[in-house]
Chain A
Amino acid sequence: DTGVSQDPRHKITKRGQNVTFRCDPISEHNRLYWYRQTLGQGPEFLTYFQNEAQLEKSRLLSDRFSAERPKGSFSTLEIQRTEQGDSAMYLCASSPIGEGRQPQHFGDGTRLSIL
């Protein structure tokens, strides 16, 4: 169990640029989640995949955001035309199906700063 891996750990970019983050879940986990955490707040749900299917998107995920999980393994989260308000920590988590009592396992996150 190598844990959930996220890349990069930090991203600094200018407003208006596009950014892409990657998440590698725990290998046997079918479910993958993206959350966003702003300073002083708890994580907020963005989207959820079961295998390669994106089953729910939060209304927080504007048209500038897109997430994929093409082969049911790693996932990418892209933000187009970044804005100041996109500055946050982006957390990825994974869990097995029928998790019941099992928790979601989180990666270390990608901290995005928009200049």
Chain B
Amino acid sequence: AQKITQTQPGMFVQEKEAVTLDCTYDTSDPSYGLFWYKQPSSGEMIFLIYQGSYDQQNATEGRYSLNFQKARKSANLVISASQLGDSAMYFCAMREGGDSSYKLIFGSGTRLLVRP
């Protein structure tokens, strides 16, 4: 079974509007972390935001926020006030376990295109 599922292969958004990128995950581990990364066409993976399984509040980082619904096992990324530079691939990833864990499990990504 897929551990991380991103059901939107591609998304369009108008500049200055908000967009939500979906991510669902599957784990039986009570301790886990969820990450979102941005990958522009140049290839580098840029960390955006983190949500821990025990966090009481949804994570926010500037224009990025995470809509974390633990019971539904979803961790959707919300980008507010989209900019042209937001056009990129976006990956949701999970790390299972606590501080001793390490590897990230990635979804297949969503390609976001911001229209002017």
Contacts and interface: CB of A to CB of B under 8 A. Distances in A.
A85 interface: no
Contact of B104 (A40, A43, A89, A98): A43
Given A40-B108, A91-B45, A106-B45, A98 B103 contact: no
B35 A103 contact: yes
Given A99-B99, A101-B50, A109 B109 contact: no
Nearest to B43: A109
A45 B47 contact: no
A33 B93 contact: no
Interface residues of A, number: 29
A69 B75 CA distance: 35
Given A101-B33, A101-B52, A43 B45 contact: yes
B2 to A, nearest CB: 11
Nearest to B35: A103
B25 interface: no
A46 B4 CA distance: 17
A104 interface: yes
Contacts of A91: 45
Interface in B50-94: 50, 52, 91, 93
B32 to A, nearest CB: 12
Interface in B25-53: 33, 35, 37, 42-47, 50, 52
Interface of B: 4, 33, 35, 37, 42-47, 50, 52, 91, 93, 99, 102-109
Interface of A: 31, 33, 35, 40-45, 48, 55-56, 89, 91, 93, 95, 97-101, 103-109, 111
